[in-house]
Structures are given as C-alpha cells and as structure tokens.
Chain A
Amino acid sequence: MPTFGFNHVEFLLVAALWTLGLSAIAFIGGGILGFVIALARVSSSALVRGLAGAYVRIVQGTPLLILLFLIYFGLAIVGFNNLPAIIAAGAGLVIYSSGFLGEIWRGCIESVPKTQWEAAECLAMTRWQRMTRVILPQAARIATAPTVGFLVQIIKNTSLASVVGFVELSQAGKLINNSTFQPFIVFITVAVIYFLICYPLSAWSRGLERRLNVGRR
C-alpha cells in the first residue's frame, strides 16, 4: 500500500487549481446572472420582482447538493449524456451563486439612501442614468466586502462538485485516501490547502469592511 508522500501533495495541488478554476466559473457566471437577478429584484414591475424573488427563494431553499444532482441527471435527460463533469458542476454552482449574490447585491442597491434616488429623479435623469451614474457606483462600494466574503463560500462549496465526479481538491483527497488509507493526514492536508486559499480572502473582506465603516463615520 502506498503511503502519503510528495507525489500525493503534488496531485492535491493540481486538484486545487481545478478548485480555483471551478470557483472562477461559478463567480463570473454567478456574478453576471446574480446582477440580473439583483436588478430584477428592484425592478418597477411587480411581476419581474416576484419572479426574481421566487428564483432566489428556491435557490436558497434547496441544498447545493440536490441542485447539483438535479442538473447532472437533468442534463442526461435532455440528451447530453457524455458531458464532462465540469459542465454540470459549473452550471450548478453558477445557479447557486447567482441566487445568493443577487440577494446580497439587492441589499446593497437598496441601502443607497432614498434621497439619492429622489435627487437623481429631480435632475431629470432617466431610470437607466439614475442606476448607472448614481445608484450602482455607490452600491458597488458597499458591495465589495460581502462579495469577497461570499467568494470564500463559493470556493468552499466547490467541494460538493465531487458528487458529480468532478476531480477537485476534495475529490482528489478522497481518491488518495482510497489508495493510501491514511484519512487523517490526507484530509488535514486538503483542509490546509483550502485554508491557505480562503483565509487571505476572508482577511481581505474584513479589511474592506473596516475601511468602508471608517469612510462612513
């Protein structure tokens, strides 16, 4: 039986790159979709608001694990049988992230003081101008810290992509454990790699938050 050694660490580090890649897909895709959701949540049409609200509630009310299974088997039903695992994993994480990011950003948009909306209206700005020139720049400043914080959640949740057969950091750990049967050292190493990726981001998010509060004081 092979023992846990340098080759295994190397294998884990390569898998960590896949974790980062999958996180990037989830963040970018989820960011675009989430932005649309956030705008829809503050739309002037009640129907659009309601639909976006229902989407958020469904995504936030089902476990990511079930979402991944649904997409994995759903894609097979529509006839995509031999898709690479990254498609199902990526799609699941994009939907998951969009539900949460949309809600975070809605909060940021709504936390821009109402007087700013009114002032923009008094200046005869169109709805589009008001959003792009007045509200969104201010909302973006508020949104940076929680968005970076959520990025940490995304990275951690890519670990669930292992259930659809995607070999990222956790799945790599499982594979090594199956061959060496030294679970403790293997998963400690996996945890340390996750920590090294996530901790700087958490610290950055906290720093951003502190700076924002200083600006407000």
Chain B
Amino acid sequence: MTYEFDFSSLLPYWREFAEGVWLTLQLSAISTVLGFVGGALCAIARADGPPWLQRVVGAYVEVIRNTPLLVQVFLVYFGIAILGIRIDANLAAVLALVVNVVAYTCEIMRAGIQSVHKAQIEAADCLGLTKTQTYWHVVLRPAIERVYPALVSQYVLLMLASSITSQISAEELTAVANRIQSDTFRSFETYIVVGLLYLALSFVVRGAFSVFGMLVFTRRRRLGTPL
C-alpha cells in the first residue's frame, strides 16, 4: 500500500466546504422548524381529530415511516416536475425533508401527548379553560418537555439525512464533496474532511438543542423536581 495522503490539495476549496456546511445547516433548520410545527399539528389531529382525519394522518405516518427517504426525495422532486412546475432542487429537498420529518415528529409527539394524565385534562376542563388553552398550557408543554430528548435525536438524524438530498443535486455539504472529489481526484481525503465536518455539526447541533432545552424548560431548574 503506497497511498500518500494529500489534504493540502483540498485547502483551496475551503470556501466551498463552508458554503456546503452553511446550506446543510439552513436545510436542517428550516425542515426542523416546519417539521416540528407540522408534526405537532398532526399529533393533535391524530389524538383528538374527527375519525376520518385520524385515519388519514395515521396512514400518512405509516407510509412515510415504512419507505426510504431516498425514494421520497425522488418522488417529490420528479412528482413536482411532472405537474409542470419547475422548482429549485434545494426547495424540493426542503419539501421532501419536511414531508419525512413531520411523520416522525407526529409519532414522537403522540407518545408525549398520551403521557399526559387524563385527570389533568379533566381538571383543565373544570377550570373552564378552552380547548386551545388546555392544549397549550396543560397538554403540549409537558408533552414536549417529556419527549424533548427523542425529538433532539430525530432532528440530529434529520441533519445527517439531509445528505441524501445530494442525490437530486441540492447543493449541500455532500453534494459539494461529490463535486470537489471529482475536481481533485482526492476522494478519500475529501470524504474524511466531510465526515469530520458532519461529526462536528452533529455535536454542535446537539449542544445547541440542549442549551435551548435548558432555556425553554425552566420547570426543573425552578422546582428541582423532574416532570
């Protein structure tokens, strides 16, 4: 084995790597926010909606959770093209990621909502809280706090899974790597660098989420008791 590693030929490309990281972060951030809102709404619909809606949401969740993201990405990308609308690959990537992560968030949030004790909802009813108030103050907040770790893991996985959108040439980190390695012929080095960048990203994202969690869920700090 006489392979000589040469990372220096990648140096001139630092700007492209940085742009890839930035786009990956943007893709994940947008999909996370939209996915969380959509997933929470789906979970409420599934727990409390009319029966037909419950069935529709349930079917949607099952279909998404039992097919690969890659196929979903292709379907969204080509499906939209067939409708005659031309959209940017990055936009298609966000759409596909959101469609995917809404289903997973819905399932996690459902578990959280189910964990809220029925007596609490009845108590809220007795206090004359409206349905919206009950959901916001009594159900959703503790539900989110309980499933927060699971949500964080899911969103870190989403950030990593956004690499799959390189297959429809969304210009995120993996697509940048594919282009650089075909420019420099330094494939192994390029993917080592990108692998390390993803590793760093996953630590940063996880850290950011845990700081955010500490800021948002103050109950534990104030009362010193677990939920």
- Whether A183 lies near B74 (C-beta < 8 A) is yes
Q: Mark B46-88, 1 if CB is under 8 A from A, else 0.
A: 0000000000000000110111111110110011011000000
Cβ 8 A contact of A194, one of B67, B82, B194: B67
Taking residues whose C-beta sits less than 8 angstroms from the other chain, chain A's interface range is 35 or more
A195 and B64 CA atoms in complex are apart in Å by: 9
Q: Does any Cβ of A come within 8 Å of B11's Cβ?
A: no
Interface residues of B in 186-225 (CB under 8 A from A): 187-188, 191-192, 194-195, 198-199, 202-203
Residues of A within 8 A of B63 (CB): 191, 195
User: In the complex, which residue of chain B has the Cβ closest to the Cβ of A68?
Assistant: B191
Tell me the dominant secondary structure on chain B's binding face.
helix
Are the C-beta atoms of A65 and B202 separated by less than 8 Å? no
How far is A90 from B81 in the complex, measured between Cα atoms in Å?
34
In contact, B188 and A65 (Cβ under 8 angstroms): no
Given A73-B188, A77-B1, A187-B78, A62 contacting B71 (CB threshold 8 A): no
> Mask for A155-178, Cβ within 8 A of B = 1, else 0?
011011011000000100110010
Number of A-B contacts (CB under 8 A): 108
Bound CA span A77–B195, Å: 17
Whether B163 is near chain A, meaning CB under 8 Å from some CB there, is: yes
> Which A residues are in CB contact (< 8 Å) with B93?
none
Residues of chain B within 8 A (CB-CB) of A187 are 71, 74-75, 78
Other-chain residue from B71, B161, B202 in contact with A61 (beta carbon distance below 8 A): B202
**Distance of A31 Cα from B191 Cα, bound (Å):** 26
Query: Assuming A70-B195, A184-B82, is B3 touching A156 (CB within 8 A)?
Result: no
